[in-house]
Structures are given as structure tokens and as C-alpha cells.
Amino acid sequence: MVLTLNVVKKSIALVQKDLYSITLTLTITDGAVISNYDFTQEYRTGQSVPTITAVFIAKMQDKINNYKSEQTIFNATQLDTAVTNIKNGLTP
């Protein structure tokens, strides 16, 4: 599974004085399948940008790892066999 990743800025909103909500979008492209995920983090004026960056990276990496785990199960032969068995076990 070869994934292509992209991150873009989506929005920023003022929550209250000196407090903002920043939203970034992670796009995971897996062949012809494109999945978009939004991640939001609060930013207070003067806060360390590297700290916010690390939070975004951690959240996005968790999503990427979960996506890969989900696809491993989704593409497993055992799941295909189970679906076939279920189809064959049904009567119209």
C-alpha cells in the first residue's frame, strides 16, 4: 500500500480574544481512493508554533496509522471469505 499524503490549511476562527481555532485538512490518497480528514487545534496568541505543529503531527500520524490498519483488515482474505460465506448463507 503506497499512500500519498497532503496537508492544507482549511480555516482559522477567532474563538475569543487571543484564542484561535486552526483547522488543517489531511488528504490520504490510496490508489484511486481519496480520503479527507480535518484536524482542529486551538492556538493562543504568543503560543509556541512548534508545540502546535507537534500536536498536529501526532494527531495526523495516528489517523494515518489507523487508516493503514483498517485497510489491512479490509483487504484481508479472511474478510473476503467471510463476506462470501455470508452471501452464500442468505436465501432470497
Domain contains 83: yes
Domain contains 92: no
Q: Which of 25, 30, 39 is nearest to 70 (CA)?
A: 30
Distance of CA 70 to the CA centre of its chain: 12
Domain contains 31: yes
Share above pLDDT 70 across residues of the chain, in percent, rounded to a whole number = 100
C-alpha cell of residue 47? 503560543
Q: Is the dihedral of CA 24, 25, 28, 29 positive or negative?
A: negative
pTM confidence score: 0.85
Domain contains 37: yes
**Number of domains forming the structure of the chain:** 1
Q: Which of 71, 43, 70 is nearest to 56 (CA)?
A: 43
Domain contains 9: yes
Domain contains 63: yes
Domain contains 53: yes
Residues 29-63: pLDDT tens digits?
998 899 999 999 999 999 999 999 999 999 999 99
Contact by Cβ (8 Å): 37, 57: no
The whole domain housing 81 covers 3-87
